[in-house]
Structure 1
Amino acid sequence: MESIVYLAVNGTLMQELELNGNLLSVGATFVRETTTEPAYRLWSIDDRHPAMLKVTEGGVAIAVEVWAVPASGVSTLLKLEPAGLCIGKVRLSDGEEVLGVLGEPFLCEGKREITQFGGWRSYIREFAEG
């Protein structure tokens, strides 16, 4: 049996959003909705997708989905992600550490910080209504 990697996603890979098909195409299955520990900040990258960074101070809990991804699909998934996004370790609110989609710092330079929304879905809902 193939090993499984738990992956926290915080943007367009989430259920019913633009790139969720990328997760489904590698055989990933939804596990649960949760939040990160309060140590992250979030930026909108041209309102196309978010970028989440871990910070040493001023972080908040960010809404994420955890997916079970076949290990063989992780590299395929990463190659399909927009430039500047990467995989790193993310600590969830319950203390569990999983892999997660993070942004590289350069990607966030000069972009709109959206940390106050607590997640991509909340931001796009506000943005769409705004």
Structure 2
Amino acid sequence: METTLLAVNGTLMRGLDLNPNMIAAQGVFVREDQTDAHYRLWSIGDRHPGMIRVAEGGTSVALEIWALPPVSLAGLLLSEPSGLSIGKVTLRDGTQVLGVLAEPWLVENQKEITPHGSWRAYTGHFYSA
């Protein structure tokens, strides 16, 4: 089966609220990874994160890489909270994959959590298999 890689940095990750949506989309966990050091992260009402690529002032954000059938991608995106979209994410090794990013309006007046480096570190919801 053909798959595409998708980087997720929030509630679609293993053990978190929207992970059942990833599983329903036939997503298969591939690995933990990190972005390159050009991203900033916000808490959107303490419900989910919003990540944006920036030219400066960013950091490396921890995320998960999942493989899923391309036909499932649209349905998964439609199940995401408003203001989140799919774009290209650059990983620490310089490769690019599709990933969940925030539209700029979504992070306005929200709490920046970039220094935490990840949604899990901010919320304290760590995953153990």
Matched residue SS, 1:83: coil
- Give the structure-1-normalised TM-score: 0.94
- Where does residue 44 of structure 1 map in the other structure? 43
CA deviation after TM superposition for structure 1 residue 5, in Å: 1.0
Per-residue displacement from partner, 1:58-97 (whole Å, max 9, x unpaired)?
A: 1100000000011010000000000000000001011110
Matches of 2:55 and 2:93, distance apart in 1? 19
- Where does residue 89 of structure 2 map in the other structure? 90
- Where does residue 56 of structure 2 map in the other structure? 57
Unaligned runs of 5+ in 2: none
Matches of 2:5 and 2:46, distance apart in 1? 26
Cα root mean square deviation, aligned: 1.0
Matches of 2:71 and 2:26, distance apart in 1? 10
Matches of 1:6 and 1:95, distance apart in 2? 15
Matches of 1:99 and 1:69, distance apart in 2? 11
Matched residue SS, 1:75: helix
Unaligned runs of 5+ in 1: none
1:75 aligns with 2:82: no
Indicate the percent of aligned positions where both proteins have the same amino acid.
54
Q: Which structure: greater helix fraction? A: 1
Matches of 2:111 and 2:119, distance apart in 1? 12
Matched residue SS, 1:81: coil
- Where does residue 19 of structure 2 map in the other structure? 20
Corresponding pairs, count: 125
- Where does residue 111 of structure 2 map in the other structure? 112
Matches of 1:81 and 1:58, distance apart in 2? 27
